[in-house]
Structure 1
Amino acid sequence: MTYDLELADRLRERLASEADVTERRMFGGLAFLVAGHLAVSASGQGGLLVRCDASDQEALERDPRVGPFVMRGRPMTGWVHADVDGSVDDADLDGWLDHGLAFARSLPPR
């Protein structure tokens, strides 16, 4: 599976005004980075990966569209996966982007 091109376009549109955000293909998806740190990604497995503070993860996962990001059978702390399709509105997408950007910006530059 490849990443969702429509989602990638929505992410590009929403992040266009963020001067510190760069785009890079990574892990079969399209990642958006801040100072070298991955913030969000249109996942190669579908949906949206969001980097977050581990203390925010449980609250994010209360949304029925959001669950832990699982890699090689193991849930990854500090990452969530959101099932994103055309029905997800801009407000929800912005909320997930805000989490990813805020966490990436809290890290020292690479």
Structure 2
Amino acid sequence: MAYDEVLAARVRDAVAERAEFTEQKMFGGLAFMVHTHMAVGITRDELMVRVGTDGYDAALADGAHELRMGERVMRGMVGVAASVTADEDALHHWVARGVDLALATPPQPPRPTRAKG
């Protein structure tokens, strides 16, 4: 599954204004990792935003939609349509929500590596 490269470049710039990050291929798209957490991502032409369970209902009321993995609703993550993120201010608003939550969450400790053998 491909993702929108133009949106990826715009998100990359927006995230970089707020925090250091890494990129990781995930969910058939691209995830932007901040403070060891996925802050935002892209799948197809939509933005995925980590809003947390506490911010979920407010994000839906603000125009986002629920994300599903198969039949399972991904509470804590929302999708934002391309028609919304076409506006630069709206894109920055949603990116800020995801990045700010990632920065406010303690980083995950590194996972131990297993010796191969």
Q: TM-score, normalised by structure 1?
A: 0.85
Corresponding position of 1:72: 70
Structure with greater Cα Rg: 2
Give the aligned residue type for 2:54.
Answer: S
Give the aligned residue type for 2:15.
Answer: L
Instruction: Answer with 47-56 or 81-90: which moved more.
Output: 81-90
1:78-89 residue pairs with structure 2 within 5 A?
Answer: 78-85=76-83, 88-89=86-87
Corresponding position of 2:48: 49
Give the aligned residue type for 1:61.
Answer: L
Give the aligned residue type for 1:91.
Answer: D
Distance 1:12 1:70, change over 3 A: same
Give the aligned residue type for 1:67.
Answer: H
Give the aligned residue type for 2:47.
Answer: L
Stretches of structure 2 that go unaligned for 5 or more consecutive residues are 109-117
For 2:56 and 2:9, locate their aligned partners in 1 and report how far apart those are by CA, in whole Å.
Answer: 26
Corresponding position of 1:26: 26
For 2:35 and 2:73, locate their aligned partners in 1 and report how far apart those are by CA, in whole Å.
Answer: 25
For 1:84 and 1:47, locate their aligned partners in 2 and report how far apart those are by CA, in whole Å.
Answer: 5
Q: Does 1:37 align with 2:2?
A: no
For 1:15 and 1:94, locate their aligned partners in 2 and report how far apart those are by CA, in whole Å.
Answer: 8
RMSD (Å), alpha carbons: 1.9
Secondary structure of the structure 2 residue equivalent to 1:61: helix
Stretches of structure 1 that go unaligned for 5 or more consecutive residues are none
Give the aligned residue type for 1:50.
Answer: V
Q: TM-score, normalised by structure 2?
A: 0.81
